[in-house]
Structure 1
Amino acid sequence: MAGTAVLALSATLSVQALAAEATQVPAGKLSDGSEVTAVTLKADNGVSATILTFGATLEKFMAPDRDGQLADITLGYDKLADYEARPNYWGATIGRYANRIAGGKFTLDGKSYQLPQNDGENSLHGGGKGWDVQNWKIDSIKSGPVASVVFSLISPDGDSGYPGTVKARVTYTLDESGSLCIAFDASTDKPTVINMTNHAIFNMAGEGAPQGAMQNVLTIPASHYTPIDSKLIPTGELRPVEGTVFDFRKGKALQDGLRDGNDQQIVYGRGFDHNFALDKGVTKKPELAARLEDPASGRVLEVLTTEPGVQVYSGNFLDGTYIGKQGHLYRMGDGIALEPQKFPDSPNHSNFVSARVDPGKPYRHVMIYRVSVDR
């Protein structure tokens, strides 16, 4: 009996050692007086993610290097007031439609819809008053072998010009190995279009690292990308990456080709601001979309998704006027966004995977940020 008790106690302690913890604290108030909460999910290996209810935003993501030193690998602000006063999508949940829609217009079942034009002529990331600047509700928080938090939001019919009342949910889960899973779910009472993602901007050397992020090595399993026009809208073509600066299949530093003015696509994007058509396409379970590594620290990020594309954005519009965490002045090349998604402007391209969502056929996108160390 004593031996059985010891074994049971040992098993209990083992489970506890592997447990991931979820905690919450007040994070301040918005200008309208509404309260914002910060939820932290922490794994036993030191990896942790802090998420704000405002924008269901991944505000901080701590990961160890090969010496066990933790660093925040995401750009952002230290103060809630900055997220509200000068939103820049950092770490936010994007909806209803991630990326650009040309002219802010699309047609569904013969009816045309006009969205806010907050990116020149285009509508970007929901039109300026999207889900990234809404204060989401916390539905549940749990600790255990997997720590989790569930956020929810109701977007009314006509919100930013989109049809249908949409009930959206974002679930963050962190397991004991340090894999952060983000599941996006949404249902609608009218046909509509939905494209949700997370907009974290990464530097695997640690945010604010003086060398920036362009020495990070990026790998993308994509044989094609979607070229853009001068307004950053896909032309509809799927162009081979072979022989271009867009070939990341074998992995290369982000700085390679970033300033190649001989490539008109780089000129249009001011660097990389392009969607890659993943060879895997749409999948039932998340599969690899990108791998980002800082050779100096050994930190590795793998991005997995069920969606067919990933937008690569090399921070081209960071212009030195954004004062981020720890007083760091963010400039071009200080971070990279890897945004799993449907293709940009899909509602206006019949050859792209459809972003249509109908009543009774809910939307779901599952993505994973998996951190590890290359020793």
Structure 2
Amino acid sequence: MLPVSGRQLSITGHGYDAVIASVGAAVRTLTHEGRDLIVPFDADQVRPNYRGATLAPWPNRVVDGRYAFAGAQHQLALTEPSRGHALHGLAAWLEFTDQVVESDRVVLTAVIEPQLGYPFRVQVEVEYHLTADGLTQVVTGRNLGTDAAPWGTGPHPYLVADAARPGAVDAWTLSLPASEVLTVTDDRLSPVAVEPVDRHPQWDFRTPRTIGDTFVDHAFTALARDDGIAEVRVTAADGTGTAISWDEACPWVQIHTADTPECEATHRIGLAVEPMTCAPDAFNSGAGLVVIDASGEHIASWTIRAL
């Protein structure tokens, strides 16, 4: 019987092993020499908290699910009902089709069909490839329609520094080379303003330090880069950990400490690190919003590796 998360595609190489679930083109498991690098989920489990999903055609939130584009007003379904937003796009629950299946590489595709709130036809191609550098994911959005389409993408992994101590986020050290943070409202996490992290020292991790009991569910930008590459690291006391890196296609990154006090089993068990091509609510603010012309495409990628 087909598992709830879809077909299971296993790839391996260079000490890494990953299982990709076809629903949402999600990274279900990722290990290096047997050590979890992300919080996994079961094959026959409805994916919790967008764990490992591919986010498109927008990451994060569209406030109130409403936006204007090319002179038309649109209303998206509110998929975050507790806060009244449209959350994490439309691709997370699509069934992706295999295009390439190799021992260390898979390529999957799905099409977002025109619908209420997003009347655009866009193909989402997702490639996963294991190399000595880790697991690289490449997401390509291709506009199959005749009108320009708004677009954004990103991943949703929950990184793990110490798999032997689940729930130990507080003890982990975070390195986050961002000098600006997008402040949000307390109740709905709606964007307020981009401000220097100097004004919010609790979210300043430019010098690596332990996370402690800090709550983070914010987007960061103004990223320091090395040859165009930004990297976030989370490490345990013994030096083991996980890093995710990406190029200038993603000028933003969302960090979330996975706070679910109502559910102890998932509370602060990993650190969500989500490189994003655009800011939260970019469909309204325009901050980083990509517009794909008819027959055009957009490519973004990121790599998760063991430390």
TM-score by length of 1: 0.74
In the superposition, relative to structure 1, how do residues 114 and 30 fare at CA in structure 2: closer, same or farther (>3 Å)? Answer: farther
* Matched residue SS, 1:365: strand
Name the structure with the higher helix share: 1
Q: Secondary structure at the match of 1:347?
A: helix
> How far apart are 1:116 and its partner, in Å?
0.8
Structure 1 letter corresponding to 2:38: T
2:156 aligned with 1:199: yes
> CA–CA distance in 2 between the matches of 1:277 and 1:153?
30
* 2:18 aligned residue: 49
User: What does residue 24 of structure 1 align with?
Assistant: none
Deviation track 1:114-147 (CA, whole Å, cap 9, x = no partner) reads 0011222211112xxx31112110100224xxx2
Please report how far the alpha carbon of residue 75 of structure 1 lies from its aligned counterpart in structure 2 after TM superposition: 1.9
Q: 2:61 aligns with which of 81, 88, 100?
A: 100
Pairing 1:169–2:139 present = no
Letter in 2 for 1:303: S
Does 2:279 match 1:343?
Answer: yes
Please report how far the alpha carbon of residue 286 of structure 1 lies from its aligned counterpart in structure 2 after TM superposition.
6.4
1:156 is the counterpart of 2:156: no
Higher strand share: 2
Does the CA-based 8 Å contact 2:37-2:242 persist in structure 1?
Answer: no
Q: CA deviation at 1:204?
A: 1.4
Q: Which residue identity does 1:29 align to in structure 2?
A: L
* RMSD (Å) for aligned C-alpha atoms: 2.3
Aligned partners of 1:173 and 1:181 also within 8 Å: yes
Q: How does 1:188-267 map to 2 (within 5 A)?
A: 188=143, 189=145, 190-206=147-163, 209-230=165-186, 231-235=188-192, 237-243=193-199, 244-255=201-212, 258=214
For residue 92 of structure 2, give the secondary structure of its aligned residue in structure 1: helix
Q: Structure 1's 339 and 110: CA in aligned 2 closer, same or farther, altered over 3 A?
A: same
Kept in 1, the 8 Å contact 2:223–2:230? The answer is no
Unaligned stretches of 5+ in structure 2? Answer: none
Q: CA deviation at 1:287?
A: 1.2
Residue 232 of structure 2 is aligned with which of 271, 286, 290? 290
Instruction: Report how far residue 178 of structure 1 moved.
Output: 4.5
Could you say what secondary structure the match of 1:245 adopts?
A: helix
Q: Is the contact between residue 30 and residue 40 of structure 2 (CA under 8 Å) also seen in structure 1?
A: no
Residues 98 and 124, structure 1, Cα contact 8 Å, conserved in 2 = yes
Deviation sequence 1:137-191 (CA, Å, 0-9, x none): 0100224xxx210000011111x6212111110000111x141111000112122
1:294, 1:300 within 8 Å by CA — same for their partners in 2?
Answer: no
2:78 equivalent among 96, 103, 117? 117
Distance in 2, matches of 1:54 and 1:272, equals 28
Aligned to 1:273: 217
Assess if the C-alpha contact under 8 Å between 1:106 and 1:112 holds in 2.
yes
Q: Report the Cα offset of residue 297 of structure 1.
A: 5.3
Matched, 1:314 2:249: no
Number of residue equivalences:
299
Once the two structures are superposed, residues 20-71 of structure 1 have per-residue CA deviations (whole angstroms, 9 ceiling, x without a partner) of xxxxxxxx4157xxx9321222123x2211111121110111124xxxxx32
Alpha-carbon distance in structure 2 between the residues aligned to 1:163 and 1:201: 31
**Greater Cα radius of gyration, structure 1 or 2:** 1
Give 4+ residue runs of structure 1 displaced > 3 Å after superposition: none
Secondary structure at the aligned position of 2:170 is classed as coil
Report the equivalent of 2:40: 76
**How much has 1:195 moved relative to structure 2?**
1.5
The verdict on how the C-alpha distance between 1:318 and 1:77 changes in structure 2, with shifts beyond 3 A counting, is farther
Q: Which residue of 1 aligns with 2:137?
A: 182
| Residues in 2 aligned to 1:198 and 1:287: alpha-carbon distance in whole angstroms | 17
Report the residue type matching 1:345 in the other structure.
D
8 A Cα contact 2:152 2:289, kept in partner: no
Residues 32-47 of structure 1 mapped to structure 2, 5 A cutoff: 36-44=6-14, 46-47=15-16
Q: Deviations over 1:9-30 (max 9, x none)?
A: xxxxxxxxxxxxxxxxxxx415
- Once the two structures are TM-superposed, the CA of residue 210 in structure 1 deviates from its matched residue by 4.4
Q: How big is the shift at 1:318? A: 5.8
CA distance in 1, matches of 2:254, 2:39: 17
Letter in 1 for 2:84: E
CA offset digits 1:276-308 (Å, max 9, x no partner): 013359x9x861241221222523323324310
Distance 1:178 1:353 in 2: 28
- What is the percentage of aligned positions where both structures have the same residue? 21
